[in-house]
Amino acid sequence: MKGTEGRDYEGLLGSLAARGVDVDRVEGRLRSQRLETPSWGYGDTGTRFAIFPQRGVPRDPFEKLADAARVHGLTGVCPSVAVHIPWDKVDDYGGLKRHAESLGLRIGAVNPNLFQEP
User: Do 106 and 59 share a structural domain?
Assistant: yes
Same domain, 10 and 41: no
Tell me whether residue 118 is in a domain. Answer: no
Q: 81 and 103 share a domain?
A: yes
Query: What mean pLDDT do residues 81-101 have?
Result: 97
CA distance 114 to 102: 30
**Which of 57, 50, 64 has its CA nearest to residue 96?**
64
Q: pLDDT tens for residues 98-114?
A: 999 999 999 999 999 88
Tens digits of per-residue pLDDT, 18-41?
Answer: 999 999 999 999 999 999 999 999
pLDDT in tens, 52-84: 888 999 999 999 999 999 999 999 999 999 999
pTM of the predicted model as reported, rounded to 2 decimal places: 0.80
Structure-model confidence comparison of residues 72 and 2, the more confident one: 72
Query: Cβ–Cβ contacts within 10 Å for residue 56, how many?
Result: 7
- Domain identity same for 19 and 63: no
